[in-house]
Structure formats: C-alpha cells, structure tokens
Amino acid sequence: MKLTTYFGERERAGGRLLSDALLDLYGRHGVKASVLLRGSAGFGARHRLRSADLLTPSEDLPLVSVAIDAPERIDALATEVRALQQSGLVTLERALARPREPAKLTVYLGRGEGYRELCVRLRDCGLDGATALLGVDGTVDGERRRAGFFGPNGGVPVMVIAVGAGAAVARALESLPDAPITLERIRVCRRDGVALAEPEPRAGEWHKLMLHSSDHAAHDELVRRLRGAQTAGATTLRGAFGFHGDHEPHGDRILQLRRGVPAVTVIVDTPEHVERSFAIVSELTRRRGLVTSETVPVILG
C-alpha cells in the first residue's frame, strides 16, 4: 500500500517540523521505502498559494511525502500520521499485484542508481511517459537518507513515475533494477492533444488527476486556474529527467534554466468537482501533455 501526505513546508507537529516528524515516523516503523518531495507551487483546502515563483522567495513551499510497504504496516502508520497531521491531505492507495490495462508504475531508487538510464529504458519498453522526481529526504529499509548541501547525495531517494499500457508495463517490469515498486490502476485521458478517455468519478471517492508535461507555463496557469475554481488541492513537482509521448527523454541543460525540465502537477479533488477540474486540465493541454486519472481513498482532507 501507499500512504501519501500533502502539506506545507512550515507546518509543525508537536513543536517540530511536520516533515521531520513524518520521516522519523517512517524510520521507526522501518517502512520499505519513503520519499519527501518539495513542490514548486500548489495549494490545499484553504486555497493559499505556495510558490517558488513569487517575488519574495517562499519559505513555505508545498511538500509531498510518500511511504510504501505491506498493508498491515501502512495501516498502522496511517493511524499515527493522522495524529501528527492536523491539516492538509492524506491518501491511502492499494497497489496492484500485476500490470493491468493501463497502469502507473512507480520505482523508488537512489540518486546514484541511474534514474536517467531507467527513464530511457522505460521509453524503449513503450510506456507513454516517465518523470524522475528527486527527493530531499526519505528512508530506505528504515534508514534515513536526507539530502545535504554538499556531497553526491547518491543514496537520497528518487521516485520515477511512469504510465502506460499493461503490456508495456509488463515489459518494463522484466528489466527493472532490484528496487521497491508500486503498480496502480489508472486511465490515460489525454496524450499530446488527443482525447482518449474521461475520469469516472464515483460517489464518495475522491479522484486524482496528473499532468505530465515540460510546458511550465501550462503548469503555472493550471495551478492558478484550479485555485480560482476552488479545486480541493494541487501540487506541481519539478522533475530532473523524463519524457512523455514521442518526445525524447530530457532534463536539465546548461543555460536552459528550469523551463524545459519535465514536471508533474498532481490534482486531488472531490467526486462532485473533478469534472470541472478535468475541463480546465483539458483546455490547457490541447497540444501537449500526458493526463491520467485514478480514484484515491482520502483519510484526511
């Protein structure tokens, strides 16, 4: 199972930063893998925008933490996470045992374990897209791996999110490194301007939309529009490397600054409002971008 939390960088629990409290908790429980990701922009239920692009540098960027392990361990972890986190959003998702049509494959590995090569391999296997997200903190088999200002940070976790048809995911699984993975059922809704499917919201179940794209103007506008539409929450995560559609895998390059790197915007919304959010996403991805949807159980929101 996968436990995901969305919160702000300055949020605290028991007199300390919530991010530190969560990662210590993951370490004490010895979870198989966890990663803390720092977003570049986003908002939650109170619709307060957190962004690295404001004129004044933000000291309260959005954070996302992910922990994966066996169901019994994650269930125990979820109870303690709810006690720590008084606001924000917490989702609890069950992974698939084998690929289905289509699926989201997430691989957890260290920065020094070849995430760029992995993205290229995933493209060769025929997946629709993959984005490598660099963690700033995390655990591997219960051991804390926090990024520092100096040093290679080779053991700090990286999360590679890939999506594609079940057959392509099955091919990828045969060539993956020995690393923790999760598989989740999704719908691929849009691919470089082509409409393929629409979300299927169910009463009482929240929905997650994800936009994979290197068009940062689209991500920025998407967060702004969704906030104005009173969407429950959205977070943009800038990747380090990846691809979507027929585009070549790419990442940071000299003089490119940040504008061409892959990014993912994660949108979590109620079943009553997900169609409105999807309409905004569709309008902003008329030409480019990979859009997926999935149902997510929310235990705090």
Residue-wise pLDDT for 28-39, tens only, equals 999 999 999 999
Which pLDDT value is given to residue 35? 98
In the predicted structure, residue 272 carries a pLDDT above the cut 80: yes
Which pLDDT value is given to residue 157? 96
- Residues 6+ away with beta carbon under 8 Å from 264: 131, 133, 161, 210, 211, 212, 236, 237, 239
Q: Closest Cα partner for 251 from 239, 233, 267?
A: 239
Report d(CA 292, CA 194) in Å as an integer.
Answer: 13
> What's the whole-model pTM score?
0.94
For the ranges 53-57, 142-146, 236-240, which has the lowest average pLDDT? 53-57
What mean pLDDT, rounded, does the chain reach?
91
Question: Cα angle vertex 210, ends 204, 214, to 5°?
Answer: 165
* pLDDT per residue as tens digits for the range 125-155: 999 999 999 999 999 888 899 998 777 788 9
The mean pLDDT value for 236-243 works out to 96
Sheet holding 290-296, edge to edge: 50-51, 41-43, 233-238, 263-269, 206-213, 290-296, 187-191, 194-195
- Cβ–Cβ under 8 Å, residues 128 and 247: no
Map out the domains of the chain with their CATH numbers. Answer: 103-133+148-185 (3.30.70.120)
The mean pLDDT value for 281-297 works out to 96
In the predicted structure, residue 12 carries a pLDDT above the cut 70: yes
